[in-house]
Structure 1
């Protein structure tokens, strides 16, 4: 991934360098005449300085701060304003230079001695036309406007293309992370040992409460169906994900019976939204794994609720893992990496821990 990122950066730099070399050398190749010196090259570079300023401001300020933040109108107005300011500056500088050149030419013409010319004795014919003026080079400010829009358009398109390419790479990495998360979950969280314990509990219920045993088997099959099929998708219905969590918690209630105070709070109405699958299960499993003791009173509380366009997920459990090492920290760290890939800076994860209670608060956009 690092190698690909370096290749993308190198390719972008190479393209930009080629464009600027072309802008500097093009006037040399299209120049009429053969005589060319270093002073003329320096003059060409000087004329490109305003264009370079526009390029730098657009690339490092306007595009990342406005266009990539979806402030399209502000970006367009900023580009137009920037080009207008630079062009007006060049216009007045060029106008002043031309005026001073005209004054010098007039002084030189005034001081030049007259040439004898016998043809002046004969007036020009009455129907003669004035000589056609030679068309001069394109005004500097107009040249700057054209080149500015061409360069800004090209560079903005280039940056957008490479940004989309980078996003595709991040999505590919996220898919790999999701696959690894699912495999790790199937291997360690829903392990054969867990299923054996759950099935043994269901078996013991058959003689006591056959209907409850049947319901537990149905819940277990739904849990497996979700893991094997539904979680393969990039996103899943929030209702299905919550139903999966409900089935998981019901199985935990079956496993621990009345030994643990387990509570699950879910709103009666859920919005029709899509989220990434298996986003909360590692935190819930962590609460059961490290919040339960067979010797002391234990509790696990899981809550979902909504605040504007945010989904709030919270777990609170008794803490029997304070002196243990490794697993909880690694699990939270891996889950946080997945959240970083999915939401960037648009989520909030807070953990509060003391000797008795472990609390986790997660807020994500929906």
Structure 2
């Protein structure tokens, strides 16, 4: 079907060009018969020369870097077409070869048509290389999109195991302590995993669902700490129909609980999310353990940084401040 459309557009363009010249040049001094011979008949001959080069010589010789053979083929083709055009001219002497009542010789006519033949050959080369360039660009874009999609799928596949690993560690701690909160933690984890498995398959999700997912994770952590986890979580602005890339913010909260002090009521984890219709500002700060030697971040933050680069390129600003006593992350992005 696509090839049929290409043929249709080629035919339409050539008909339009010939019709344009017929309209532009035809006048009382040029008979209709002579006009048809010169512009329709010879136009068709030159068009055949165009496609001979476009469909045969360029793909089989020029594209394969057989430059010598291509040059020889061009010379022979120009000669053969020159002879052929002169032969056609002999059939329509008065319209083609007679100029001011003088009969043109072969060489005079050949040299006069040489430039026209070269023009059509040149145009076929320009069109072929232009089409090939656009096709190659599209192929490269498709390959790049496929590569980025594969990379995003890989990054996203890392999120579930990474989150599950941390959460199971928390639940294991509760089970080890024989805490009565263990069943509630398992139920909360199942709700979180249901969201991650069934509602995060699209490129973007409703911001309201993503914020509820963050709240569920915070509730799970509070259960882990025996409701002694202190986090100041606020949402400013109206959450309506905004959308966001799923599982983008959780890494910051995970790291706050993993590396920070969560059970100090005087220094709670501070989490503020401000939203409007087109922007989101995320702020989280936690107090650091004095003996915490682990690098802040790990897989989670490296993952989210890469996803931001791929999905919000030029539309986000991430500021991470690793200070002596506190660790702060601020993310601003265009939704």
TM range (shorter): 0.5 to 0.7
2:75 partner SS: coil
| 1:238–1:272 Cα contact (<8 Å) kept | yes
Q: 1:265 to 1:141 in 2, by over 3 A?
A: farther
Aligned twin of 2:90: none
Partners of 2:150 and 2:233 in 1: CA distance = 34
2:219 partner SS: helix
Q: Does 1:164 align with 2:208?
A: no
The partner residue of 1:315 within 240, 263, 284 is 284
Q: Does 1:31 align with 2:9?
A: no
Aligned twin of 2:258: 289
Aligned twin of 2:115: 138
Q: Does 1:203 align with 2:180?
A: yes
| 1:238–1:275 Cα contact (<8 Å) kept | yes
2:271 partner SS: strand
**C-alpha displacement of 1:174:** 1.4
Aligned twin of 1:342: 311
* Off by >4 Å, runs of 4+ in structure 1: 22-25, 139-146, 198-202, 216-221, 257-260, 293-296
Gaps of 5+ in 1: 1-14, 36-127, 206-212
Gaps of 5+ in 2: 1-58, 80-99
Per mean C-alpha deviation after superposition, the further-off stretch among 250-259 and 223-232 is 250-259
Q: Note the alpha carbon deviations across 1:234-265, whole angstroms, 9 max, x for none.
A: 43222211111112223333444674431112
Partners of 1:293 and 1:300 in 2: CA distance = 6
Aligned twin of 1:152: 130
Q: Does 1:302 align with 2:302?
A: no
Partners of 1:198 and 1:238 in 2: CA distance = 33
| 1:315–1:360 Cα contact (<8 Å) kept | yes
| 2:231–2:262 Cα contact (<8 Å) kept | no
Query: C-alpha root-mean-square deviation of aligned residues, in Å?
Result: 3.9
Partners of 2:200 and 2:290 in 1: CA distance = 30
Query: Please, what TM-score do these two structures have when normalized by structure 2?
Result: 0.61
Q: 1:196 to 1:244 in 2, by over 3 A?
A: same
Aligned twin of 1:242: 211
| 1:290–1:321 Cα contact (<8 Å) kept | no
Partners of 1:229 and 1:244 in 2: CA distance = 13
Query: Please, what TM-score do these two structures have when normalized by structure 1?
Result: 0.56
Partners of 1:152 and 1:364 in 2: CA distance = 39
The partner residue of 2:323 within 343, 349, 354 is 354
Partners of 1:193 and 1:350 in 2: CA distance = 28
